[in-house]
Amino acid sequence: MKSKELKGKSSEELETQLLELQKELIKINTQVATGTTLKSPGQAGLVKKNIARLMSQLKK
- The pLDDT tens digits of the residues spanning 12-59 come to 898 999 999 999 999 999 998 998 888 888 999 999 999 999 998 888
Q: How far is it, in rounded angstroms, from Cα 46 to Cα 30?
A: 16
Nearby residues of 55 by Cβ (< 8 Å), 6 or more positions away: 18
What are the sequence ranges of the domains in the chain?
Answer: 3-59
pLDDT of residue 7: 78
**CATH class of the region 3-59:** mainly alpha
pLDDT at 3 over 80: no
| pTM given for the model | 0.83
Q: Residue 36: its pLDDT value, please?
A: 86
Sign of CA dihedral 15, 50, 54, 9: negative
